[in-house]
Amino acid sequence: MKHFNKIATVCGSFVLGLLALAGCEDEHFYEVDSPDWLSEKVDSIANSQNSGDEELEGMMEDVYTIGSTDYSTGWWTVFSKYYVIPDGQKWNAVFNLNINPDASNTYKNFALIICNDVDREGEGYLEYGAIRYDNQPSGNSEWGDYIDRSYVQSTLTFETDTDEGIAQLGGRVTLTVDRSVEGAFSVRMTNGTVTKTYNQPTALVNLNADESNTNIRCYLVPEGSYINFLQTNIEPIGGLTSADDKNPVSMELQGVPEIVNIGTPLDSVIANVSAVVTFEEGVTATVASSELTFSVIPDMETPGMKNLVAAYNKTQQGENCDQPVIASATFELVEQIASIEVTTQPSRTTYYYYTSAATEGMTDRTLAFDPTGMEVTATYVSGGTGTIANSRLTFSTVPATVGTHTVTITADEGVTATVEVTVAESAVSEVTNSTAIVGAEDNSTAFWGAFSDDFNVPSGETKSITFTNYSSLAGNWNNYVVVLRKTDTTVEYGVVRADNYGWGAGYDGNTNLRLSGGQPDWAAWLATMNGAEVTVYVTNCGNGTADVQAIMNGTDGTTSIQYYLGITTIDPEDLNFALTVDGSHLVFGE
pLDDT digits (tens, 9 = 90+) for 494-550: 999 999 899 999 999 898 999 997 777 888 999 999 999 999 999 999 999 999 999
Query: Which residues form the domain of 314?
Result: 3-27+245-334
Q: What is the mean pLDDT of the chain?
A: 90
3-state secondary structure 305-367: EEEEEEEEEECCCCCEEEEEEEEEEEEEEECCEEEEEEEECCCCCEEEECCCCCCCCCCCCEE
What's the number of domains the chain is made of?
4
pLDDT value, residue 13? 39
Residue 402 has pLDDT above 60, yes or no: yes
Instruction: State whether 55 and 154 are in the same domain.
Output: yes
Say which CATH number the domain at 407 has: 2.60.40.3630
Q: What percent of the chain has pLDDT over 90?
A: 81
Are residues 355 and 292 part of one domain?
A: no
Segment 360-368 shows an average pLDDT of 94
Q: In this structure, what CATH number is given to the domain that contains residue 288? A: 2.60.40.10
308 and 167: one domain? no
Express each pLDDT in 227-251 by its tens digit.
999 999 999 998 999 888 899 999 9
Say if residue 388 is in the same domain as residue 448: no
**Predicted confidence (pLDDT) per residue in 423-479, tens digit:** 999 999 999 999 999 999 999 999 999 999 999 999 999 999 999 999 999 989 999
Q: Is residue 479 part of a domain?
A: yes
> Going by DSSP bridges, is the β-strand pair 152-154/437-438 parallel, antiparallel, or unpaired?
unpaired
Residue 22 pLDDT greater than 60, yes or no: no
What's the pLDDT score for residue 120? 94
The pLDDT score that the predictor gives to residue 54 is: 59
Residue 81 has pLDDT above 50, yes or no: yes
According to the model, what pLDDT value does residue 521 have? 85
Close Cβ partners of 100 (under 8 Å, ≥ 6 residues apart) = 71, 108, 224, 225
Listed residues 232, 255, 283: the one ending a domain: 232
Residues 20 and 62 in one domain: no
What's the rounded mean pLDDT across residues 120-142?
Answer: 93
19 pLDDT higher than 60:
no
450 and 363 in a common domain:
no
Task: Count CB-CB contacts under 10 A for residue 4.
Answer: 14
| pLDDT value for 536 | 98
Cα(172)–Cα(167) distance, integer angstroms: 12
The identity of residue 136, as a single letter, is Q
Task: Report angle CA 139, 143, 147 to the nearest 5 degrees.
Answer: 125
Contact 19, 297 (CB under 8 A): yes
The last residue of a domain, from among 334, 359, 381: 334
pLDDT band of 334, cuts 50, 70, 90 = very high
Q: What's the rounded Cα separation, in Å, for the pair 325 and 277?
A: 8
Structure confidence by residue, pLDDT tens digits, 470-508: 999 998 999 999 999 999 999 999 999 999 899 999 999
Residues 81 and 61 in one domain: yes
Same domain, 328 and 341: no
Asked whether 89 and 190 are in contact (CB, 8 A), the reply is no
Over 80: is that where the pLDDT of 171 sits? yes
Confidence of residue 260 (pLDDT cuts 50, 70, 90): very high
Task: Give the burial class of 367: count Cβ atoms within 10 A of its Cβ; 0-12 exposed, 13-18 middle, 19 or more buried.
Answer: buried
Verify that 165 and 281 share a domain, yes or no: no
Residue after which a domain boundary falls, among 175, 205, 232? 232
Same domain, 330 and 369: no
- Residue 238 domain-assigned? no
* DSSP states along 505-537: TTTTT-TT-EE--S---HHHHHHT-TTEEEEEE
The pTM is what?
0.64
Would you say residue 237 lies in a domain? no
What single letter denotes the amino acid at residue 323?
A: Q
